[in-house]
Every structure is written in structure tokens, then in C-alpha cells.
Amino acid sequence: MNAIYILWLRQLKRHFRSRARMIGSLGQPLLFLVALGFGFGPIYQRAGGGNYIQFLAPGIIAMSILFTAVFTGMEIIWDRQFGFLKETLVAPVSRFHIMAGKTLGGATVATLQGIIVFFLSMLAGFRPEYIVMLPLAFLFMFFISLLFTALGISIASLLEDMQAFPLIMNFIIMPLFFLSGALFPLQGLPKAIGVVASVNPLSYGVDGLRGTLVNGASFGLHVDFMVLGIITAILILIGSYLFSKIEV
């Protein structure tokens, strides 16, 4: 357990030492929130959807968590290329503990990122409907962070260099985001897109955040928790196995 704590703390220090990275990671969520929120807001309102900022903010929070969590997991590739991972793996600690520490560290960083974006979205006009539900919303943020950090580590365990990173962005991360209901309602979609959205784990994270923050859940909070919990457990097991097979 001490090894997990040390690696968790190391991951936090590594992230927060880079101020440029912290500021840069907030740029994309703010751009989406302002450009889409105020750009499509009048159209959304005329279509009878209400305040688009209220609808959009939970999706943008989930987006910031998704990117931060996956990128944190993908840092393994960078460590592998420059020999830092080898120094960690030769330590007298099980690889499961190393993977667990990195996963918890990445999930903590991504959760804090989501909380920061939550407060920034309030400056843009977003208002949570039920303050008492905020702890549950933060718990959803942590579940999303844990899931996608484990996914990032799983992917990184299979790769040896960063050349495949654009493929991962274009064929995994971006489709997960755009087909999660973060930017548009899931009701009334074409059947094919609806099926894809229903098997997308991020859809349940976005839905959970929307349910706790603006009372707009489509699947139900209990379903969101169950799906996120099951998929997170599966990805942690897969990530642990793949990480244990890394050769440096």
C-alpha cells in the first residue's frame, strides 16, 4: 500500500509541476464551453431545449476529465521511451501496485481538472440545480477519471512509441467524446448512433453528471453507477494484465 501511495503522490507532483500543462489543459474545455455555449445557445433555445449552457456544461466537464485521464495514462509511453519506466519496474514492488498507484494518481489529477472546469463553467453562467448533489457529481467525476486512466494505461501498455498517438485520438478518444451525448441530447437520434451511444462508457458518465448537476439523466443514476463501476473494474483488470507484460 505504501508503494501505491508513493506512486499516487509522484503522479500528482509530476502534473502540478508543469504550470503550462495545467493552463493548457483548460483551454479546450473553455473554448468548447464559450464557443458552443454562446454560439448554439440561441438556436437550442428556439428549438425548445432551454438553456444550452445548462445542458452543455456537464458534457464539457466530462470531456476535460476524459482527455486528462487518458493522456495521464499514456504517459507510460513517454516514460518507456526515456527509461523512466524501467527504473520504476526494477523496484521491489509488484507491477499491480505500480499500475494501481499510477491509475489512482491519474484519476485524482483528472478529477481535480473536472472540478476546476466545473467552477469555470459557473463563470460562464452554469448553475447546478441541487447543491446537495455536488458530492455525488464529484464521485461521478472520479469514476470517469478512474475508468479512462485505466483505459489510457491499457492502451499505453501495448504501444512502444508515440507515433500511434494520432490514431488513438482520431479513432478512440474523439469518437468516445462526440458520441457520448456531451454536445447533444441522446433522445431522438438515428438508431445506429443511438446504439453506439448506448455502448459508449462515457455516455453514462455524462448522463450521471447531467443527472446530479441539472437533473437531466436519461439512463438513471443507478444505471450510470452500475455501468461505470463494471467497466472500470474490467479495464483495471485488463490494464493490470497488460502492464504486467510490459518489456523494457
Q: Residue 192 — very low, low, confident or very high, per pLDDT cuts 50/70/90?
A: confident
For the question of whether the overall pTM of this predicted structure is more than 0.85, the answer is yes
pLDDT of 158 reads 84
Give residue 74's pLDDT: 77
Q: What is the pLDDT of residue 49?
A: 73
Look at residue 164 and tell me whether its pLDDT is greater than 60. Answer: yes
**Which of these, 244, 74, 67, 239, lies nearest to 162 by C-alpha position?**
74
Question: How many CB atoms sit inside 10 A of residue 132's CB?
Answer: 8
Write down the pLDDT at residue 14.
63
**Rounded Cα gap, residues 208 and 222, in angstroms:** 9
Contact 145, 12 (CB under 8 A): no
pLDDT over threshold 80, residue 4: no
The backbone torsions φ and ψ at residue 93, rounded to the nearest 5 degrees and listed phi first, read -135, 140
Tell which wins on pLDDT, 78 or 178.
178
d(CA 110, CA 107): 5
pLDDT band at 47 (very low <50, low <70, confident <90, very high): confident
pLDDT surpassing 60 at residue 65: yes
The mean per-residue pLDDT over the stretch 45-65 comes to 88
Neighbours of 193 (CB within 10 A): 13
pLDDT digits (tens, 9 = 90+) for 75-118: 787 777 776 777 677 767 777 888 888 888 889 989 999 999 99
3-state secondary structure 228-243: HHHHHHHHHHHHHHHH
* pLDDT given at position 145: 95
Question: In the structure grid, which three cell numbers stand for residue 49, read together?
Answer: 431545449
Q: From 127, 111, 140, 135, select the one nearest 221 (Cα to Cα).
A: 140
- Give the mean pLDDT of 24-30: 78
**Which pLDDT band, with edges at 50, 70 and 90, does 226 fall under?**
very high
Q: Considering just the CA atoms, what is the radius of gyration of the chain in Å?
A: 18
Examine the pLDDT at 143 and tell me if it is beyond 60: yes
Residue 62, pLDDT score: 95
Banded pLDDT at 144 (limits 50, 70, 90)? very high
Mean pLDDT, rounded, for 18-37? 75
Give phi and psi for 227, each to the nearest 5: -65, -45
pLDDT at 53: 92
Torsion of the alpha carbons at 126, 131, 133 and 139, rounded to the nearest 10:
70
**pLDDT bracket for residue 36 (50, 70, 90):** confident
Q: Can you tell me the mean pLDDT for 130-137?
A: 92
3-state helix, strand, coil in the chain (%, to 5): 80, 0, 20
